[in-house]
Amino acid sequence: MFDYTREQIIKALNDNPKDDAVKISAEKVAEMKGNKLLEGAFSSLEKARAFYRDRPLYSIPFSMFKRYEVDGDRTEFEYAEKGYFMHRGHLKTWALSTLFYGEDEDIRLLEDTIWAICDEYTWSLPAHMNGNQGIYVNYQPDRFTIDLFAAETGQAIAEILQIVGDKLNPLVVKRAKREIKTRIIDRFIDGELSDFWWAKGTNNWAAVCAGSVGMAAICELDDNERLATMIEKNLASMRTFMSGFSNDGACLEGIGYWSYGFGYFSYYADMLYKRTGGKINLFDDDKVKLVATFPTKMFFYGSRTVGFSDAGSKGGIGLGIASKLMEHCPDMVIPVTANMTAGVEITGCHRFAENLRSFIWAGLERPDVSDAMKIYPLADAQWYVANGSDNFGIAAKAGNNGEPHNHNDLGNFEVFKNGVEFFADLGSGEYNKAYFGSGRYKTWHCGSQGHSVPIINGKTQVAGKDRKATDVEVNESGIRMELIGAYDAPELTSFTRELNFTPSPAKAVIKDKFRFTGAIESLVERFITRIEPKLEAGKLIITASDGTAVTLSYDADKFYASYTSVVTPDHVGKPFTFYTVDLTVKAHENEMSFEFVIE
């Protein structure tokens, strides 16, 4: 995969002009401004202009920088009005405004923003620097840590200088180029790959970091020998990144992280393709084309998506990247249930590469959509995804408890109807030090106590790659697995979960079978929902605000039924409520079987 020799790389660089890869013509700008598909995108840009025009640029205080080391908090440094991503919001907004409008105010605010970002002590997040006070011990190397956001920052400014740099003050341009060279390009080219753990990673970091650094280098380097060294290193990272996808093309981190990681892979692949005159084409690979189609299999009615791990179940697919991938992958089908968007977000991480390409990659005609295949048995990923009648959808998984952005969730499932998630995966919790440390599985989001899986003798599932489902079978009808390995319960000798699905009329049947040889103190079948449920004899009824309902039926003679409301912080620290529904087994036997019908 991606086996290009150094000689091939240098020849391709020497034979093709740089400007074709990094410049945007006036004709292209005019085309984008007249593209009816981008009317909403330009409207969102106007909203961003109004938002950031009223918010001054601040120097980020040290008191905010040190919070992560002091108490593990990330939110203040990253999202406060004086924080890191506020600078990136300004950068994205005024760069796009300068490209499309070029008013004096746009240029002035862009210059001020680049200057402020050059003032930052580091472009990395404190949470991604060497912990345990490492940032105080290794002052200089850690200042130049290349994490996701340092790499994105270098890429963003480098590309901005290429597309609108002629409108900026030469001193701003000169200073920015110096910072990109020192913090990003020299740091990566002159370092060893082993200096960067993500360079051999299989998750989104490998593509985002390597792709961003590579794009910055393509923009900045005129020395083709040095650029070739960068490309060789990047191709190594991209190979390991692609190895992290299952043979089904599935991203175990979910569609959100597919959009992030494979998105940056695509941005880099496209720029490299143009820089080499098509001689280096990373899209021309069978697995890449398979991975490109992954999100088209993940949608349910109402643009809801499979939400395992930290992914979350709300999403769409960008109009720009959908259009670009369909150029390279003619077999790609966008399901009619997927929301395709192009725009500029007001808050968030403000990824300039993504925002710019939502404009420049959008075609003049909306890509065709159709009803894709409704059932996807992804045997290698050990996922089952299916759509049925009446806008009913279901997803279930096996896998292991050491996956990227892992949750302890073997046997977990989600149920959707009419765009509402009835049985839920809670997605990502608040990102702080504990969430990525020893406290991760104490959270409702990551521990199996917050998933629709049993609690056996008071024990929840255990983390680790060796904690895996076995004897997994995935086919058109459903998924079956042995889950004894998920629990530290020596008295348990077998636990199989089988989920079978009938598309019309839509119905899912879950069959759990347990075998014990020791004492059984308790067995609880737990189910998770964000909607307050109603319990009747033998029925769990969940009704959405629009009146849509889903019912889970069970044998009332075998269980005591109860539910509890839980309040916990979401990804940005905002409290929300969900409900644990517990069906507690009344009479314990060495062998027990239970059936739950969801319709």
- Please give the average per-residue pLDDT across 295-317, as a whole number: 86
- Residue 372 confidence (pLDDT): 57
Residue 147: CB atoms within 10 Å: 21
- Please give the average per-residue pLDDT across 42-61, as a whole number: 95
Lowest-confidence segment of 241-250, 317-326, 327-336 by average pLDDT: 327-336
Q: pLDDT category, 28, cuts 50, 70, 90? A: very high
Query: In the predicted model, is pLDDT for residue 413 greater than 90?
Result: yes
Residue that the structure tokens 């369909």 belong to: 326
Q: Say if residue 575 is preceded by a cis peptide, omega within 30 of 0.
A: no
Residue 595: CB atoms within 10 Å: 14
Considering only CA atoms, which of 411, 585, 588, 595 is closest in space to residue 495? 411
**Cα four-point dihedral sign 537, 540, 545, 549:** negative
- Sequence-ordered strand ranges (E) for 476-574: 478-482, 492-502, 507-516, 523-529, 534-536, 539-543, 549-553, 559-569
- Please give the average per-residue pLDDT across 438-452, as a whole number: 95
Lowest-confidence segment of 271-275, 321-325, 342-346 by average pLDDT: 342-346
Q: Which two tokens stand for residue 516?
A: 């014990």
- Please give the average per-residue pLDDT across 289-308, as a whole number: 90
Nearby residues of 375 by Cβ (< 8 Å), 6 or more positions away: 385, 386, 387, 476, 501, 503
Which residues make beta-bridge pairs with 539?
536, 553
Residue type, 106: D
Nearby residues of 191 by Cβ (< 8 Å), 6 or more positions away: none
Q: Which two tokens stand for residue 355?
A: 């925002």
- Residue 571 confidence (pLDDT): 86
- Residue 374 confidence (pLDDT): 85
Answer with the residue of higher pLDDT: 299 or 599: 599
- Residue 404 confidence (pLDDT): 87
C-alpha–C-alpha distance, residues 195 and 211, integer Å? 17
Q: pLDDT category, 545, cuts 50, 70, 90? A: very high
Q: Distance of alpha carbon 595 from its chain centroid, rounded?
A: 34
Query: In the predicted model, is pLDDT for residue 231 greater than 70?
Result: yes
Answer with the residue of higher pLDDT: 308 or 140: 308
State the angle between helix axes of 319-328 and 255-275 in degrees (0 to 180), rounded to the nearest 10.
60
Specify whether the backbone of 9 is left (phi greater than 0), alpha (psi in -120 to 50) or beta: alpha
% of the chain with per-residue pLDDT over 70: 97
Q: What is the pLDDT of residues 522-531, one digit of tens each?
A: 999 999 999 9
- Residue 8 confidence (pLDDT): 96
CA atoms in the 13 A half-sphere facing the CB of 51: 18
Query: In the predicted model, is pLDDT for residue 137 greater than 70?
Result: no
Query: In the predicted model, is pLDDT for residue 582 greater than 80?
Result: yes
Lowest-confidence segment of 76-80, 92-96, 380-384 by average pLDDT: 76-80
Q: Which two tokens stand for residue 209?
A: 């970091």
Coil, strand or helix at 111: helix
Lowest-confidence segment of 32-41, 156-165, 350-359, 361-370 by average pLDDT: 361-370
Bridge-based pairing state of the strands 317-318 and 340-341? parallel
Considering only CA atoms, which of 260, 256, 348 is closest in space to residue 309? 256
Considering only CA atoms, which of 405, 398, 597 is closest in space to residue 484? 398
Considering only CA atoms, which of 397, 385, 425, 412 is closest in space to residue 299? 385
Q: pLDDT category, 433, cuts 50, 70, 90? A: confident
- How far, CA to CA in Å, does 181 sit from each of 1, 21, 176, 185, 398? 29, 19, 9, 5, 45
Residue 574: CB atoms within 10 Å: 8
Bridge-based pairing state of the strands 392-397 and 413-417? antiparallel
Helix (H) or strand (E) holding 154: helix 148-164
Query: In the predicted model, is pLDDT for residue 411 greater than 80?
Result: yes
Residue that the structure tokens 């409008």 belong to: 101
- Tell me 316's DSSP state: -
Query: In the predicted model, is pLDDT for residue 133 greater than 50?
Result: no
- Please give the average per-residue pLDDT across 476-485, as a whole number: 97
Average pLDDT for the chain: 93
- How far, CA to CA in Å, does 295 sit from each of 121, 260, 338, 464, 519? 38, 12, 9, 27, 45
Domains of the chain (ranges; CATH) run 6-370 (1.50.10.100), 375-598 (2.70.98.70)
DSSP structure string for 187-219: HHHSS-GGG-GGGG-SSHHHHHHHHHHHHHHHH
Residue type, 76: E
Query: In the predicted model, is pLDDT for residue 543 greater than 90?
Result: yes
Q: Which two tokens stand for residue 429?
A: 């919790």
- Residue 136 confidence (pLDDT): 56
- Residue 396 confidence (pLDDT): 98
C-alpha–C-alpha distance, residues 263 and 260, integer Å? 5
- Please give the average per-residue pLDDT across 341-355, as a whole number: 89
Q: Which two tokens stand for residue 195?
A: 């200096």
Considering only CA atoms, which of 263, 137, 251, 161 is closest in space to residue 212? 263
- Please give the average per-residue pLDDT across 321-344, as a whole number: 83
Contact 554/568 with Cβ under 8 angstroms? no
Considering only CA atoms, which of 474, 472, 423 is closest in space to residue 597? 423
Answer with the residue of higher pLDDT: 519 or 423: 423
Residue 502: CB atoms within 10 Å: 15
Nearby residues of 78 by Cβ (< 8 Å), 6 or more positions away: 84, 85, 125
Query: In the predicted model, is pLDDT for residue 330 greater than 80?
Result: no
Q: Which two tokens stand for residue 297?
A: 């299999």
Lowest-confidence segment of 114-123, 371-380, 537-546, 553-562 by average pLDDT: 371-380
Residue 132: CB atoms within 10 Å: 8
Contact 86/58 with Cβ under 8 angstroms? yes
Considering only CA atoms, which of 158, 157, 154, 163 is closest in space to residue 23? 163
**CA-CA-CA-CA dihedral for 321, 327, 331, 332, to nearest 10:** 10
- Residue 132 confidence (pLDDT): 43
Q: pLDDT category, 130, cuts 50, 70, 90? A: low
Residue 51: CB atoms within 10 Å: 14
